[in-house]
Structure 1
């Protein structure tokens, strides 16, 4: 993450914290430890000072070994730190310019271990990291981490303060018809609605033995005005932006009162909108035209992921925005695994397992952690720009951006690839700029080829992005031709 041989080139950022520590172990180190553990991880450097020009330089520590011993003594004290997630290899001495410094590498904490807090109180002692440094987490942020830490899925909670009247039975009837088409002859086919919902996990028994709605049932089939009683910030929002002169061309919101407002009906209303402009090759199977393609599959997966992995207790609701050349899926909540693990697949840690089961029974969504890798693979086969995933922490939010091409493109099928690429240049997206800035935060100097691989786009696209960032005064270029590298402008850090 950091090349100590060129320490002077680095600056403090959301992954690096420097402390002189000449007077001993600084008290603020524990806030930084909590912040790094609860965010993306980071490196704490003891025996390093930040000069006026923001550059980092080593200083002579009086006794680095004592600092390490003191660090281990305190971090293993549960009255000071809730949990030690470090191993011996994470805390080492290093030689920089003839001086010995202490390097503490703090990983991102695993979901069940969060929040990592100090001084015995999670509400007053939990921190996170942003571009400005360590900040004290709000009560909502702490509670969100605690909900995610629970071994039981959020949506399995039984709502004993509600009854069966919370359900929209038109939604249930529609779901049962879809399930009958997907799984004809299923053993639940002839059950009464309440028994069917019990088998599905939409209803469960309370402490008194009676049946009550579950969180999953309420979200999937409930009336919006009932859902907001449990989730005050619940809001589903789909927007189409095709005209720059208006705020939106069309919009679907859960609070309109014109439909149920639940996530089941929202899924199908939105999917029909985002898929209607995707062209399909002419293909016949068993005498019928097949209008489905891998791109349609990926769009269903992206939409289902957004709905299934949302933290509905979180803020700002779920927002899908469709523009001419990009579709964004944004939901409250943070990743429960590292983003890179989600991209590579094989690891699954869903927030709402019962919702997954419900969607799976009508052939929507994946269970084995393969959904996001499939989306990347399909976009790569299309020759489109790689999807961009971003994670924010205040407020907690995940956004996936999918660039699409509709002008002259025929979608690639499973059996044959037929693509006509559009000549129109896409706009420089803010998400791609943010990705480059974040990468430059962790890497002092990079070549354009690194960014090409990072974003999964063509070299010309990366150069356009870099030129725009240079014009904005955020990035500077050094060297020429093949030796040219890029870094963040010092005043922008």
Structure 2
């Protein structure tokens, strides 16, 4: 029964209930297009969804006739641009003696996208966001069409780019790393242009002139030239490991004091983020081993981010180091479902040429096991499980790498949290947890957020957010600034919610 699975779909707005008392609603087809172009979902005809998320079953007076009407329209070339629904995706179910129609819309493959209506690709292509179905912009349609291509888009010549757009200092750094990883390789004796051609970073255009490919421009170009070709391109690193609202360390691609390209960003951001990792004392003979499974996982995570990014999308690549986690986010969704991408051997990178470039210096996994290596390496290092999530409109993929450990009876030097918290989001408001914070402050008086977090066994970042909300409610007051900030019950309100 579909009602047994509604909670799973409701969490990320992949459940849609429609009363459908007057027949098939027009919005039904918009929702089918939206679900197919996003992450899939379930539509229930003959039900209403209340504000609290519960479903009220109304039933359909003639579900079988409506089901026939549905298939007549769905199989018509004039309605849906592609046939992707199967017989078992659409069915009649009976709940409390009332018949409803359940439509389980799959996430279609990228080669079939965009799914649009009424032969109108620009006006009737829909996607799903947290606010519901929205009509796609021209840019969103173009993005899906690019992803539908059989060849990797970054292998194409970057229209309008010139060889002078490349930063040869970056090329030399890459070649040094390449020669170290590939001793005796024939490419090591090639000229720079020959090497870049072999790598797929440059290619000859129709007139026979050498031009950068998108992969070459992104990996080895300078930001001022990259943004001429890809105006939305932006790279951002931030470190905020204290209670201050200001970043302790930050750099972006637009400052002009470094190349601003992907390869240099990879080197810089990895050297920054690896400082967050715990390095146990371990010897290989008489040499100390500083590279842990977490270091390998971090490299894979950064490479996965930059090689799956959609550089035509807004908001750019952002890497953040805060007290409790490393967060790595890129524009664009996964091209295959996350669950499938996490399986060894499954991979569909958006920028396959760039991934090849990283793999040739042992910095990325081409065999389709990169994401599974991220999860395995992080677990081996004793950290809580990583969490991937996708956002839509604009599309975004966000990876959270917790810097806290899981209570498992093994002392690893990390602050411990309960396993149940490893999948909980680090944001959001919980009245129950707010009540526990108020109880803690009642018993302990003036306290640091880290002490509250340890007692309640939740993350510091989540604790800070809950405290901020309690301050806005007038129930908690802060004392001091920056790292010295402490919290106490407000004098004006000492009522603890039950």
SS at match of 1:226: helix
Match of 2:174 in 1: 175
The within-5 A match list for 1:382-401 is 382-401=381-400
Q: What aligned pairs does 1:222-301 form with structure 2 within 5 A after superposition?
A: 222-285=221-284, 288-301=287-300
The corresponding residue for 2:317 is 318
Q: Distance in 2 between matches of 1:306 and 1:166?
A: 23
- Residue aligning to 2:3: 3
Secondary structure at the counterpart of residue 330 of structure 1? strand
Paired residue secondary structure (1:100): strand
Q: Distance in 1 between matches of 2:153 and 2:40?
A: 25
Residue in 1 that maps onto 2:424: 432
Check whether the contact 1:156–1:354 (CA below 8 A) recurs between aligned residues. Answer: yes
Comparing 143-152 with 285-294, which one deviates more in the overlay? Answer: 285-294
For residues 85-484 of structure 1, the aligned pairs below 5 Å read 85-285=84-284, 288-405=287-404, 419-423=411-415, 432-433=424-425, 461=457
Partners of 2:166 and 2:123 in 1: CA distance: 39
Distance of 2:414 and 2:131 partners within structure 1:
41
Residue-by-residue CA offset, 1:108-133 (whole Å, 9 max, x unaligned): 11111111111212221111223332
How many residue pairs end up in the alignment? 439
Q: Which runs of 5+ in 2 are unaligned?
A: 430-453, 471-498
| Distance in 1 between residues matched to 2:284 and 2:11, nearest whole Å | 59
Q: Deviations over 1:225-277 (max 9, x none)?
A: 11001110111111111233242011111111111110011111111111124
* Contact 1:342/1:372, CA 8 A, preserved across alignment: yes
Contact 1:11/1:56, CA 8 A, preserved across alignment: no
Distance 1:286 1:164, change over 3 A: farther
Moved more, 59-68 or 186-195: 59-68
CA distance in 1, matches of 2:366, 2:411: 30
Shift in alpha-carbon separation, 1:277–1:98, aligned structure 2, 3 A: closer
> C-alpha separation between the residues in 2 aligned to 1:147 and 1:96?
43
- State the alpha-carbon separation in 1 of the partners of residues 9 and 142 from structure 2: 34
Q: What per-residue deviation string (whole Å, max 9, x for no partner) do you get for residues 72-92 of structure 1?
A: 111122222111211001111
Deviates more, 1:32-41 or 1:346-355: 32-41
Structure-2 change in CA distance of 1:380 and 1:425 (3 Å): closer
Return the TM-score normalized by structure 2.
0.80
Partner in structure 2 of residue 454 of structure 1: none
Deviation at 1:53, TM superposition (A): 7.4
SS of 2:211's equivalent in the other structure is strand
Greater shift, 18-27 or 30-39, is seen at 18-27
Q: Indicate the SS of the match to 1:354.
A: helix
TM-score norm. by structure 1 comes to: 0.81
- 2:67 is the alignment partner of 1:68: yes
Per the alignment, do residues 418 and 85 of structure 1 end up closer, same or farther by CA in structure 2, a change over 3 Å counting?
same
Q: Offset of 1:291 from its aligned partner?
A: 2.1
Measured in 2, the distance between the counterparts of 1:13 and 1:161 equals 40
Q: Structure 1 residue 358: deviation in Å?
A: 0.6
Matched residues in 2 for 1:196 and 1:172: separation? 10
SS of the aligned residue for 1:389 comes to: strand
**Aligned CA distance change for structure 1 residues 268 and 463 (closer, same or farther; 3 Å):** closer
Provide Cα deviations, 1:375-420, integer angstroms capped at 9, x if missing partner.
21222233321111110001110010111159xxxxxxxxxx9853
Counterpart of 1:102 in 2: which secondary structure? strand
Inter-partner Cα distance in structure 2 for 1:215 and 1:9: 39
Task: Answer yes or no: is the 8 Å Cα contact 2:307–2:355 preserved in 1.
Answer: yes
Q: What SS does structure 2 have at the residue aligned with 1:37?
A: helix
**Is the CA contact (8 Å cut-off) linking 2:9 and 2:41 kept in structure 1?**
no
Larger relative contact order (Cα-Cα within 8 Å, sequence gap ≥ 6)? 1
Distance 1:23 1:315, change over 3 A: same
For residue 77 of structure 1, what is the aligned residue in structure 2? 76
- Between the aligned partners of 1:308 and 1:345, the Cα distance in structure 2 is 18
Mark the runs of 5 or more structure 1 residues left unpaired by the alignment. 407-416, 438-457, 474-493
SS in 1 for 2:424: helix
**Aligned partner of residue 178 in structure 1, secondary structure:** helix
How many Å apart are 1:429 and its aligned residue?
9.2
Distance change in 2, residues 1:265/1:23 (3 Å) = same
1:34 counterpart SS class: helix
Whole-Å separation in 2 of the counterparts to 1:332 and 1:239: 17
Deviation string, structure 1 residues 444-482 (Cα, Å, up to 9, x no partner): xxxxxxxxxxxxxx9x8589989x99x989xxxxxxxxx
Q: C-alpha distance in 1, partners of 2:356/2:323?
A: 33
RMSD: 3.4
Q: Distance in 2 between matches of 1:65 and 1:423?
A: 58
The aligned residue for residue 40 of structure 2 is 41
Compute the displacement of 1:330 (Å). 0.5
Q: Does the 8 Å CA contact 2:160/2:229 hold for their aligned counterparts?
A: no
Distance, in Å, in 1 between the alignment partners of 2:126 and 2:8 is: 27
- Per-residue deviation at 1:209? 2.4
- Distance, in Å, in 1 between the alignment partners of 2:415 and 2:161 is 55
| Alignment partners' CA distance in 1, 2:197 and 2:50 | 64
